[in-house]
Structure 1
Amino acid sequence: MTELTDKITGIDHLAFITNDMVKTVRFYRDLLGMELNAGIGHDGYRHYFFRAGNTLIAFFEYEGASEMKRKFHGSPSTEPLGFDHLSVHVESRADLFAVKDKLEAAGIEVDGVVDHGTLWSIYFFDPNNIPLEISWATCEVVNAPAIHDSQPLEIAAEGAAPQPGHWPAVTNPTLEEDMRAYPGNGYLMRDTGIAEGRLRFTDEYAAIPEEKRSRPRPEAAE
Protein backbone atom coordinates (compact mmCIF):
# COMPACT_ATOMS: atom_id res chain seq x y z
CA MET A 1 0.00 0.00 0.00
CA THR A 2 1.33 3.43 -0.96
CA GLU A 3 1.58 5.85 1.99
CA LEU A 4 1.97 9.59 1.48
CA THR A 5 4.16 10.14 4.55
CA ASP A 6 6.76 12.80 3.67
CA LYS A 7 5.44 13.05 0.09
CA ILE A 8 3.83 16.43 0.73
CA THR A 9 6.76 18.64 1.65
CA GLY A 10 5.10 22.04 1.72
CA ILE A 11 2.61 24.37 0.11
CA ASP A 12 3.45 25.17 -3.50
CA HIS A 13 1.00 28.03 -3.88
CA LEU A 14 -2.25 29.46 -2.58
CA ALA A 15 -4.53 30.91 -5.26
CA PHE A 16 -6.89 33.85 -4.75
CA ILE A 17 -9.01 36.15 -6.93
CA THR A 18 -8.53 39.84 -7.64
CA ASN A 19 -10.38 42.24 -9.90
CA ASP A 20 -7.33 44.51 -10.23
CA MET A 21 -3.92 42.95 -10.73
CA VAL A 22 -2.15 46.31 -10.69
CA LYS A 23 -3.25 47.18 -7.17
CA THR A 24 -2.50 43.59 -6.12
CA VAL A 25 1.07 43.80 -7.44
CA ARG A 26 1.53 47.18 -5.76
CA PHE A 27 0.40 45.69 -2.44
CA TYR A 28 2.19 42.33 -2.40
CA ARG A 29 5.39 43.27 -4.22
CA ASP A 30 5.90 46.94 -3.42
CA LEU A 31 4.39 47.12 0.08
CA LEU A 32 4.89 43.63 1.55
CA GLY A 33 8.14 43.08 -0.35
CA MET A 34 7.25 39.75 -1.96
CA GLU A 35 9.02 38.86 -5.19
CA LEU A 36 6.80 38.97 -8.27
CA ASN A 37 7.90 35.50 -9.28
CA ALA A 38 5.98 34.51 -12.40
CA GLY A 39 2.82 35.12 -14.35
CA ILE A 40 0.60 34.17 -17.24
CA GLY A 41 -1.56 36.56 -19.24
CA HIS A 42 -3.46 36.09 -22.49
CA ASP A 43 -6.89 36.60 -24.02
CA GLY A 44 -8.28 38.41 -20.99
CA TYR A 45 -6.76 35.85 -18.64
CA ARG A 46 -4.12 36.74 -16.06
CA HIS A 47 -2.50 34.65 -13.30
CA TYR A 48 0.43 36.09 -11.30
CA PHE A 49 2.57 34.55 -8.55
CA PHE A 50 4.34 36.18 -5.60
CA ARG A 51 7.06 34.41 -3.61
CA ALA A 52 6.93 34.22 0.17
CA GLY A 53 9.90 32.10 1.26
CA ASN A 54 9.38 28.64 -0.20
CA THR A 55 5.70 29.29 -0.90
CA LEU A 56 3.94 31.12 -3.71
CA ILE A 57 0.81 33.25 -3.38
CA ALA A 58 -1.10 33.45 -6.65
CA PHE A 59 -3.90 35.62 -7.99
CA PHE A 60 -6.31 35.17 -10.87
CA GLU A 61 -7.57 38.46 -12.27
CA TYR A 62 -11.29 38.46 -13.06
CA GLU A 63 -12.46 41.99 -13.87
CA GLY A 64 -16.08 41.23 -13.01
CA ALA A 65 -15.33 39.69 -9.62
CA SER A 66 -16.96 41.38 -6.64
CA GLU A 67 -14.97 42.07 -3.49
CA MET A 68 -14.96 39.57 -0.65
CA LYS A 69 -17.16 40.31 2.31
CA ARG A 70 -14.95 41.76 5.02
CA LYS A 71 -14.85 39.28 7.91
CA PHE A 72 -12.29 39.67 10.66
CA HIS A 73 -9.72 36.91 10.99
CA GLY A 74 -11.02 33.93 12.96
CA SER A 75 -14.42 35.42 13.76
CA PRO A 76 -17.40 33.01 13.60
CA SER A 77 -19.20 32.97 10.27
CA THR A 78 -22.17 31.41 8.52
CA GLU A 79 -20.57 31.95 5.11
CA PRO A 80 -19.89 28.88 2.92
CA LEU A 81 -17.09 26.59 4.07
CA GLY A 82 -13.63 27.49 2.84
CA PHE A 83 -11.08 30.20 3.38
CA ASP A 84 -10.74 32.21 6.61
CA HIS A 85 -7.41 34.05 6.37
CA LEU A 86 -3.82 33.73 5.18
CA SER A 87 -0.89 33.99 7.57
CA VAL A 88 2.74 34.37 6.51
CA HIS A 89 5.65 34.42 8.92
CA VAL A 90 8.67 36.62 9.56
CA GLU A 91 11.92 35.58 11.22
CA SER A 92 12.22 38.12 14.03
CA ARG A 93 10.31 40.45 16.33
CA ALA A 94 12.00 43.40 14.64
CA ASP A 95 10.77 42.16 11.26
CA LEU A 96 7.20 41.95 12.58
CA PHE A 97 7.25 45.53 13.78
CA ALA A 98 8.97 46.67 10.58
CA VAL A 99 6.06 45.27 8.55
CA LYS A 100 3.56 46.86 10.95
CA ASP A 101 5.28 50.23 10.63
CA LYS A 102 5.31 50.04 6.84
CA LEU A 103 1.63 49.11 6.64
CA GLU A 104 0.62 51.93 8.97
CA ALA A 105 2.78 54.41 7.05
CA ALA A 106 0.80 53.39 3.96
CA GLY A 107 -2.47 54.22 5.74
CA ILE A 108 -3.51 50.59 6.24
CA GLU A 109 -5.30 49.78 9.48
CA VAL A 110 -3.41 47.15 11.47
CA ASP A 111 -4.79 45.21 14.44
CA GLY A 112 -2.19 44.01 16.92
CA VAL A 113 0.45 43.08 17.84
CA VAL A 114 -1.37 40.16 19.55
CA ASP A 115 0.46 37.57 21.68
CA HIS A 116 -1.14 34.19 20.95
CA GLY A 117 1.21 32.29 23.24
CA THR A 118 3.08 30.47 20.50
CA LEU A 119 3.29 33.44 18.15
CA TRP A 120 2.81 37.17 17.85
CA SER A 121 0.55 38.42 15.08
CA ILE A 122 -0.71 41.48 13.28
CA TYR A 123 -3.88 41.53 11.18
CA PHE A 124 -4.95 43.61 8.19
CA PHE A 125 -6.70 43.38 4.82
CA ASP A 126 -5.34 43.53 1.29
CA PRO A 127 -6.99 45.66 -1.44
CA ASN A 128 -9.28 42.73 -2.31
CA ASN A 129 -10.51 42.43 1.31
CA ILE A 130 -8.52 39.22 1.77
CA PRO A 131 -7.74 38.97 5.51
CA LEU A 132 -4.00 38.68 6.11
CA GLU A 133 -1.86 37.92 9.15
CA ILE A 134 1.87 38.33 9.70
CA SER A 135 3.25 36.06 12.43
CA TRP A 136 6.47 35.72 14.40
CA ALA A 137 6.86 32.38 16.19
CA THR A 138 7.74 32.46 19.89
CA CYS A 139 7.72 28.67 20.33
CA GLU A 140 8.46 25.65 18.21
CA VAL A 141 6.75 22.29 18.38
CA VAL A 142 9.19 19.70 19.72
CA ASN A 143 6.66 16.96 20.44
CA ALA A 144 3.71 16.90 18.04
CA PRO A 145 0.80 17.15 18.24
CA ALA A 146 0.99 20.06 20.69
CA ILE A 147 -2.75 20.48 21.30
CA HIS A 148 -4.53 22.14 24.21
CA ASP A 149 -8.25 21.38 23.83
CA SER A 150 -10.86 21.59 26.57
CA GLN A 151 -12.86 18.91 24.73
CA PRO A 152 -10.11 16.84 23.12
CA LEU A 153 -10.94 14.80 20.06
CA GLU A 154 -10.15 11.11 20.11
CA ILE A 155 -8.70 11.36 16.62
CA ALA A 156 -6.01 13.78 17.87
CA ALA A 157 -4.95 11.26 20.49
CA GLU A 158 -4.00 8.88 17.68
CA GLY A 159 -0.85 10.94 17.19
CA ALA A 160 0.78 13.32 14.73
CA ALA A 161 1.68 10.79 12.05
CA PRO A 162 -0.71 9.58 9.33
CA GLN A 163 -2.79 6.65 10.56
CA PRO A 164 -3.18 3.67 8.22
CA GLY A 165 -6.36 1.83 7.40
CA HIS A 166 -8.76 4.76 7.02
CA TRP A 167 -8.62 5.13 3.23
CA PRO A 168 -8.68 2.59 0.41
CA ALA A 169 -5.35 1.20 -0.73
CA VAL A 170 -4.13 2.04 -4.23
CA THR A 171 -4.79 -1.00 -6.38
CA ASN A 172 -4.12 0.48 -9.82
CA PRO A 173 -1.03 2.72 -9.61
CA THR A 174 -0.12 4.82 -12.63
CA LEU A 175 2.61 3.19 -14.70
CA GLU A 176 5.68 5.30 -15.44
CA GLU A 177 4.93 5.32 -19.17
CA ASP A 178 1.52 6.82 -18.39
CA MET A 179 2.91 9.64 -16.22
CA ARG A 180 2.17 12.37 -18.75
CA ALA A 181 0.35 15.70 -18.67
CA TYR A 182 -1.80 17.52 -21.21
CA PRO A 183 -1.00 21.13 -22.17
CA GLY A 184 -2.35 23.90 -19.94
CA ASN A 185 -2.27 27.69 -19.88
CA GLY A 186 1.41 27.91 -18.97
CA TYR A 187 2.85 26.54 -22.21
CA LEU A 188 3.42 29.94 -23.84
CA MET A 189 4.90 31.36 -20.64
CA ARG A 190 7.23 28.37 -20.35
CA ASP A 191 8.43 28.43 -23.94
CA THR A 192 8.96 32.20 -23.86
CA GLY A 193 10.66 32.03 -20.46
CA ILE A 194 13.03 29.28 -21.59
CA ALA A 195 13.90 31.21 -24.77
CA GLU A 196 14.55 34.42 -22.82
CA GLY A 197 16.60 32.70 -20.12
CA ARG A 198 14.07 33.47 -17.38
CA LEU A 199 13.15 29.83 -16.75
CA ARG A 200 14.95 26.52 -16.83
CA PHE A 201 13.70 22.97 -16.63
CA THR A 202 14.15 21.08 -13.38
CA ASP A 203 16.61 18.20 -13.60
CA GLU A 204 13.86 15.59 -13.26
CA TYR A 205 11.71 17.13 -15.99
CA ALA A 206 14.67 17.61 -18.35
CA ALA A 207 15.51 13.91 -17.98
CA ILE A 208 12.11 12.84 -19.32
CA PRO A 209 12.24 12.20 -23.09
CA GLU A 210 10.17 14.88 -24.84
CA GLU A 211 7.90 12.32 -26.48
CA LYS A 212 7.00 10.94 -23.04
CA ARG A 213 5.96 14.24 -21.46
CA SER A 214 2.63 15.07 -23.06
CA ARG A 215 -0.71 13.49 -23.77
CA PRO A 216 -3.79 14.86 -25.55
CA ARG A 217 -6.43 16.75 -23.62
CA PRO A 218 -9.22 14.39 -22.51
CA GLU A 219 -11.80 16.09 -24.74
CA ALA A 220 -9.47 15.83 -27.74
CA ALA A 221 -9.06 12.10 -27.17
CA GLU A 222 -12.81 11.43 -27.25
Structure 2
Amino acid sequence: MTKNIKANGLNHLAISTNNMKEQIEFYTDVLGFRLVALYWMHGVEGCWHGFLEMNDSSQVAFVFNPANKDAKVEYGVTNPGHTGGPSAPGTMQHLAFNVDTLDDLLNMRDRIRSRGYNVMGPMDHGMCHSIYFQGPEDTCLEVATFGNADYPIGPKDWIDPEVQELAGISDEELAKFTNPIEFEGQGGTIPNPGYNPDSYNPDRPVQLLQGMFAMPDEQFAMIPMEKRPPSMMSDEDRAAKHAN
Protein backbone atom coordinates (compact mmCIF):
# COMPACT_ATOMS: atom_id res chain seq x y z
CA MET A 1 0.00 0.00 0.00
CA THR A 2 1.41 3.39 -1.02
CA LYS A 3 2.00 5.82 1.81
CA ASN A 4 0.95 9.32 0.80
CA ILE A 5 3.61 11.76 2.04
CA LYS A 6 2.22 15.17 3.02
CA ALA A 7 2.41 17.68 5.85
CA ASN A 8 -0.22 16.81 8.46
CA GLY A 9 -0.56 19.90 10.62
CA LEU A 10 0.99 23.16 11.80
CA ASN A 11 4.18 22.52 13.76
CA HIS A 12 4.85 26.17 14.54
CA LEU A 13 4.37 29.65 13.14
CA ALA A 14 7.24 32.05 13.83
CA ILE A 15 6.46 35.72 14.44
CA SER A 16 9.02 38.51 14.84
CA THR A 17 8.94 40.45 18.08
CA ASN A 18 10.58 43.40 19.79
CA ASN A 19 9.18 42.40 23.19
CA MET A 20 9.47 38.71 23.95
CA LYS A 21 8.21 39.06 27.53
CA GLU A 22 5.05 40.89 26.45
CA GLN A 23 4.22 38.21 23.86
CA ILE A 24 4.84 35.38 26.33
CA GLU A 25 2.70 37.05 29.00
CA PHE A 26 -0.19 37.61 26.56
CA TYR A 27 -0.21 34.14 25.03
CA THR A 28 0.13 32.30 28.33
CA ASP A 29 -2.34 34.38 30.37
CA VAL A 30 -4.89 35.44 27.75
CA LEU A 31 -4.90 32.39 25.48
CA GLY A 32 -3.67 29.71 27.89
CA PHE A 33 -0.66 28.50 25.91
CA ARG A 34 2.32 27.04 27.78
CA LEU A 35 5.87 28.35 27.46
CA VAL A 36 7.99 25.31 26.59
CA ALA A 37 11.23 26.81 25.22
CA LEU A 38 13.18 30.07 25.41
CA TYR A 39 16.70 29.88 24.01
CA TRP A 40 19.28 31.31 21.59
CA MET A 41 18.10 30.70 18.03
CA HIS A 42 20.34 28.00 16.56
CA GLY A 43 22.84 29.33 14.06
CA VAL A 44 21.55 32.93 14.05
CA GLU A 45 23.80 35.35 15.91
CA GLY A 46 22.10 37.52 18.53
CA CYS A 47 18.62 36.03 18.06
CA TRP A 48 16.42 34.24 20.58
CA HIS A 49 13.44 31.95 20.14
CA GLY A 50 10.40 31.47 22.36
CA PHE A 51 7.99 28.56 21.81
CA LEU A 52 4.43 28.52 23.18
CA GLU A 53 2.64 25.19 23.06
CA MET A 54 -0.99 24.78 21.95
CA ASN A 55 -0.90 20.97 21.91
CA ASP A 56 1.63 18.17 21.53
CA SER A 57 2.43 19.05 17.90
CA SER A 58 1.40 22.70 17.38
CA GLN A 59 3.14 25.79 18.71
CA VAL A 60 3.50 29.52 18.13
CA ALA A 61 7.09 30.76 18.10
CA PHE A 62 8.42 34.27 18.56
CA VAL A 63 11.79 35.43 17.23
CA PHE A 64 13.70 38.34 18.76
CA ASN A 65 16.33 39.75 16.42
CA PRO A 66 18.26 42.85 17.56
CA ALA A 67 17.68 44.35 14.11
CA ASN A 68 13.91 44.24 14.68
CA LYS A 69 14.12 47.59 16.50
CA ASP A 70 14.80 49.29 13.16
CA ALA A 71 11.73 47.74 11.50
CA LYS A 72 8.67 49.82 12.32
CA VAL A 73 5.03 48.78 12.02
CA GLU A 74 3.45 50.33 8.93
CA TYR A 75 -0.21 49.57 8.36
CA GLY A 76 -0.88 48.24 4.89
CA VAL A 77 2.73 47.03 4.61
CA THR A 78 4.05 45.17 7.66
CA ASN A 79 0.69 44.79 9.42
CA PRO A 80 -2.92 44.98 8.22
CA GLY A 81 -4.14 46.79 11.37
CA HIS A 82 -7.31 44.66 11.50
CA THR A 83 -8.40 41.26 10.18
CA GLY A 84 -9.76 42.75 6.94
CA GLY A 85 -6.86 45.10 6.24
CA PRO A 86 -4.14 44.85 3.56
CA SER A 87 -0.51 43.92 4.16
CA ALA A 88 2.43 43.11 1.90
CA PRO A 89 2.45 39.69 0.18
CA GLY A 90 4.18 37.15 2.39
CA THR A 91 3.44 38.93 5.67
CA MET A 92 0.99 37.53 8.22
CA GLN A 93 -2.50 38.96 7.66
CA HIS A 94 -4.05 37.36 10.74
CA LEU A 95 -3.60 34.32 12.95
CA ALA A 96 -6.55 32.06 13.83
CA PHE A 97 -6.49 29.53 16.66
CA ASN A 98 -8.85 26.56 16.91
CA VAL A 99 -11.31 25.32 19.52
CA ASP A 100 -13.60 22.33 19.03
CA THR A 101 -17.10 23.65 19.71
CA LEU A 102 -19.16 26.82 19.87
CA ASP A 103 -19.40 26.42 23.65
CA ASP A 104 -15.59 26.32 23.79
CA LEU A 105 -15.49 29.47 21.68
CA LEU A 106 -17.81 31.35 24.03
CA ASN A 107 -15.77 30.25 27.03
CA MET A 108 -12.59 31.36 25.24
CA ARG A 109 -14.23 34.74 24.70
CA ASP A 110 -14.90 34.86 28.46
CA ARG A 111 -11.24 34.15 29.17
CA ILE A 112 -9.99 36.91 26.87
CA ARG A 113 -12.50 39.48 28.14
CA SER A 114 -11.69 38.60 31.77
CA ARG A 115 -8.12 39.76 31.06
CA GLY A 116 -9.38 43.18 29.95
CA TYR A 117 -9.33 42.76 26.18
CA ASN A 118 -12.18 43.52 23.80
CA VAL A 119 -13.39 40.63 21.60
CA MET A 120 -15.91 40.85 18.75
CA GLY A 121 -18.10 37.90 17.86
CA PRO A 122 -18.89 35.11 17.45
CA MET A 123 -19.55 35.75 13.78
CA ASP A 124 -21.28 32.90 11.95
CA HIS A 125 -19.52 32.24 8.63
CA GLY A 126 -21.58 29.13 7.88
CA MET A 127 -18.50 26.92 7.76
CA CYS A 128 -17.19 28.19 11.12
CA HIS A 129 -17.80 30.60 13.98
CA SER A 130 -15.11 33.16 14.83
CA ILE A 131 -14.19 35.77 17.42
CA TYR A 132 -11.73 38.59 16.70
CA PHE A 133 -9.34 40.65 18.84
CA GLN A 134 -5.99 42.43 18.72
CA GLY A 135 -2.73 41.18 20.23
CA PRO A 136 0.65 42.66 21.14
CA GLU A 137 2.65 44.47 18.45
CA ASP A 138 -0.46 44.87 16.26
CA THR A 139 -1.04 41.20 15.56
CA CYS A 140 -4.58 40.48 14.32
CA LEU A 141 -5.95 37.43 16.09
CA GLU A 142 -8.93 35.10 15.76
CA VAL A 143 -10.24 32.02 17.52
CA ALA A 144 -12.50 29.82 15.39
CA THR A 145 -14.36 26.54 15.47
CA PHE A 146 -15.61 24.27 12.70
CA GLY A 147 -17.83 22.59 15.31
CA ASN A 148 -21.53 23.47 15.05
CA ALA A 149 -21.02 24.57 11.43
CA ASP A 150 -24.17 24.93 9.32
CA TYR A 151 -22.28 23.95 6.17
CA PRO A 152 -19.06 22.00 6.88
CA ILE A 153 -16.07 23.18 4.90
CA GLY A 154 -15.28 21.26 1.72
CA PRO A 155 -14.67 21.97 -1.98
CA LYS A 156 -18.12 20.75 -3.05
CA ASP A 157 -19.78 23.64 -1.21
CA TRP A 158 -17.12 26.28 -0.69
CA ILE A 159 -15.51 26.83 -4.11
CA ASP A 160 -17.11 29.94 -5.63
CA PRO A 161 -16.90 29.90 -9.47
CA GLU A 162 -16.69 33.69 -9.52
CA VAL A 163 -13.70 33.75 -7.17
CA GLN A 164 -12.16 30.79 -9.04
CA GLU A 165 -12.25 32.91 -12.20
CA LEU A 166 -10.81 35.97 -10.43
CA ALA A 167 -7.93 33.79 -9.20
CA GLY A 168 -7.24 32.59 -12.74
CA ILE A 169 -7.85 28.93 -11.87
CA SER A 170 -9.15 26.71 -14.67
CA ASP A 171 -11.50 23.77 -14.08
CA GLU A 172 -8.63 21.39 -14.82
CA GLU A 173 -6.42 23.15 -12.29
CA LEU A 174 -9.24 23.16 -9.74
CA ALA A 175 -9.63 19.41 -10.07
CA LYS A 176 -5.90 19.06 -9.36
CA PHE A 177 -5.98 21.45 -6.40
CA THR A 178 -8.95 19.75 -4.73
CA ASN A 179 -7.47 16.27 -5.28
CA PRO A 180 -3.69 16.64 -4.89
CA ILE A 181 -1.50 13.95 -6.42
CA GLU A 182 -0.37 11.43 -3.85
CA PHE A 183 3.38 11.10 -3.42
CA GLU A 184 5.39 8.13 -2.26
CA GLY A 185 8.68 9.12 -0.64
CA GLN A 186 12.00 7.79 -1.87
CA GLY A 187 13.56 7.52 1.57
CA GLY A 188 15.29 10.89 1.32
CA THR A 189 17.38 9.97 -1.75
CA ILE A 190 16.24 12.78 -4.07
CA PRO A 191 18.94 15.52 -4.26
CA ASN A 192 18.40 19.27 -4.41
CA PRO A 193 17.76 20.48 -7.98
CA GLY A 194 20.34 23.27 -7.58
CA TYR A 195 20.09 27.05 -7.64
CA ASN A 196 17.42 28.43 -9.96
CA PRO A 197 17.00 32.23 -10.10
CA ASP A 198 13.35 31.78 -11.12
CA SER A 199 12.51 29.64 -8.07
CA TYR A 200 11.64 30.71 -4.49
CA ASN A 201 14.95 31.52 -2.81
CA PRO A 202 15.99 32.92 0.58
CA ASP A 203 17.28 36.49 0.66
CA ARG A 204 20.94 35.52 0.55
CA PRO A 205 23.80 36.28 -1.92
CA VAL A 206 23.55 34.23 -5.11
CA GLN A 207 27.02 32.72 -4.66
CA LEU A 208 26.08 31.53 -1.16
CA LEU A 209 22.83 29.99 -2.43
CA GLN A 210 24.65 28.20 -5.24
CA GLY A 211 27.03 26.63 -2.74
CA MET A 212 24.30 25.79 -0.24
CA PHE A 213 22.04 24.09 -2.77
CA ALA A 214 24.96 22.11 -4.22
CA MET A 215 26.03 20.90 -0.78
CA PRO A 216 25.41 17.17 -0.16
CA ASP A 217 22.85 16.49 2.57
CA GLU A 218 25.48 14.64 4.58
CA GLN A 219 27.73 17.71 4.60
CA PHE A 220 24.90 20.03 5.64
CA ALA A 221 24.01 17.69 8.50
CA MET A 222 27.58 17.99 9.81
CA ILE A 223 27.40 21.77 10.31
CA PRO A 224 28.12 22.32 14.04
CA MET A 225 24.93 23.12 15.91
CA GLU A 226 24.14 23.23 19.61
CA LYS A 227 21.56 20.49 20.18
CA ARG A 228 21.57 20.32 23.95
CA PRO A 229 18.81 22.10 25.87
CA PRO A 230 19.93 25.13 27.93
CA SER A 231 19.53 23.09 31.13
CA MET A 232 22.51 20.95 30.08
CA MET A 233 24.88 23.83 29.32
CA SER A 234 27.53 24.82 31.86
CA ASP A 235 28.88 28.33 32.37
CA GLU A 236 31.99 27.26 30.47
CA ASP A 237 29.83 26.08 27.55
CA ARG A 238 28.08 29.42 27.45
CA ALA A 239 31.30 31.39 27.56
CA ALA A 240 32.73 29.33 24.70
CA LYS A 241 29.53 29.73 22.70
CA HIS A 242 29.56 33.53 22.95
CA ALA A 243 33.32 33.68 22.28
CA ASN A 244 32.86 32.07 18.85
Q: Which residue of 1 aligns with 2:32?
A: 33
Q: Which residue of 1 aligns with 2:131?
A: 122
Alignment of 1:56-71 (within 5 A): 56-62=59-65, 64=69, 65-67=71-73, 69=75, 70-71=80-81
Give the structure with the higher percent helix: 2
Q: Which residue of 1 aligns with 2:13?
A: 14
Unaligned ranges ≥5, structure 2: 183-188, 192-215, 234-244
Distance in structure 2 (CA, Å) of the matches to 1:103 and 1:67: 24
Give a deviation string over 1:103-158, Cα, whole Å, max 9, x none. 22222121211001011100111111111110011348586565330423422233
Alignment of 1:166-181 (within 5 A): 173-174=190-191, 180=221
Q: CA deviation at 1:37?
A: 1.8
Equivalent residue for 2:228, pick from 169, 177, 191: 191
Distance in structure 1 (CA, Å) of the matches to 2:123 and 2:154: 25
Q: Which residue of 2 aligns with 1:218?
A: none
- Is 2:160 the counterpart of 1:149? yes
Number of residue pairs the alignment of both structures matches: 181
Q: Which residue of 1 aligns with 2:88?
A: 80
Distance in structure 1 (CA, Å) of the matches to 2:53 and 2:74: 23
Distance in structure 2 (CA, Å) of the matches to 1:163 and 1:192: 39
Q: CA deviation at 1:32?
A: 0.7
Unaligned ranges ≥5, structure 1: 165-171, 197-222
Letter in 1 for 2:159: H
Distance in structure 1 (CA, Å) of the matches to 2:73 and 2:154: 41
Q: CA deviation at 1:7?
A: 2.8
TM-score normalised by the chain length of structure 2: 0.62
Distance in structure 2 (CA, Å) of the matches to 1:4 and 1:39: 36
Distance in structure 2 (CA, Å) of the matches to 1:105 and 1:136: 20
Letter in 1 for 2:145: W
RMSD between aligned residues: 3.2
Q: Is the 8 A contact 1:19 1:66 kept in 2?
A: no
Identity %: 26
- Is 2:123 the counterpart of 1:110? no
